[in-house]
Amino acid sequence: GLQRVLSNVKSRGVFGEVQLAGLLEQVFAPDQYASNVETVPGSNKRVEFAIKFPGTSSEGVVWLPIDAKFPREDYERLLDAQERADADAAALAGAALERRIKEEGKSIAQKYVEPPFTTDFALLFLPTEGLYAEVVRRPGLTDELQRTWRVVVAGPSTLAAILSSLQMGFRTLAVERR
């Protein structure tokens, strides 16, 4: 059943979004984040989720964009090649996965990151720990995404840690205001 659901591109997107929504709901109050946010005014580009930060402008909101991606085909080709112990196919599949992640990072940065309306970085959420681990173990990939596109890669457990840190920041801000 899960294999059939995940074979559809739209379903995979929904899978990542639902998981991301669940993590956000566990950590934040509903007024601390939003879904389908146009982070860059007038762009008509909407990110799946964004966290609200207090801003200095009259509107008082700076968004942290979070976009979920699940490049399942590239990842499965890599896993299949590794299972067959086919080093050449694994190298090709790994390179394809890296290209795809770089393209996604570039797309996120270009569509959703625009200070002062947003933070100067965004989060790319990968909905499975295996996929996240594979991306992180690729030499220089996450560094390049951060340095070139200002995109931080997060998996389910690391996103939970990042969100908890942000929540602590919100609580500190609230205490300071009081």
pLDDT of residue 147: 97
pLDDT of residue 160: 86
- CB-based burial, 83-119: b 16+ in 10 Å, e otherwise: eeeeeeebeebbebbbebbbebbebbbebbbbeebbb
Confidence of residue 1 (pLDDT cuts 50, 70, 90): very low
The answer to whether 126 touches 159, Cβ cutoff 8 Å, is: no
pLDDT of residue 55: 73
pLDDT of residue 60: 78
pLDDT tens string 150-159: 999 999 989 9
Q: Between the CA of residue 101 and those of 21, 38, 108, what are the distances in Å?
A: 21, 22, 10
Quick one: what percent of the chain has pLDDT higher than 90? 66
- CB-based burial, 50-76: b 16+ in 10 Å, e otherwise: bbbbeeeeeeeebbbbbbbbbbbebbe
Model pTM? 0.85
| Least reliable range by pLDDT among 14-28, 66-80, 130-144 | 14-28
Distance CA 118, CA 103 (A): 20
Distance CA 66, CA 49 (A): 5
pLDDT average, residue stretch 153-170: 87
Cα radius of gyration rounded to whole Å, the chain: 17
Q: Ramachandran region of residue 134, left (φ > 0), alpha (ψ -120 to 50) or beta?
A: alpha
In this predicted structure, the answer to whether residue 77 has a pLDDT above a threshold of 60 is yes
Confidence of residue 92 (pLDDT cuts 50, 70, 90): very high
In this predicted structure, the answer to whether residue 7 has a pLDDT above a threshold of 80 is no
pLDDT of residue 105: 97
pLDDT tens string 9-42: 444 457 788 989 999 998 888 998 999 999 999 9
- Average pLDDT in the chain: 88
With tokens 């998981």, the residue in question is: 19
Residues 6+ apart with CB under 8 A from 159: 20, 23, 66, 123, 125
Quick one: what percent of the chain has pLDDT higher than 70? 90
Distance CA 100, CA 121 (A): 19
Show the CA angle centred on residue 53, arms to residues 23 and 165, nearest 5°.
50
Residue 166 tokens, joined: 């942000």
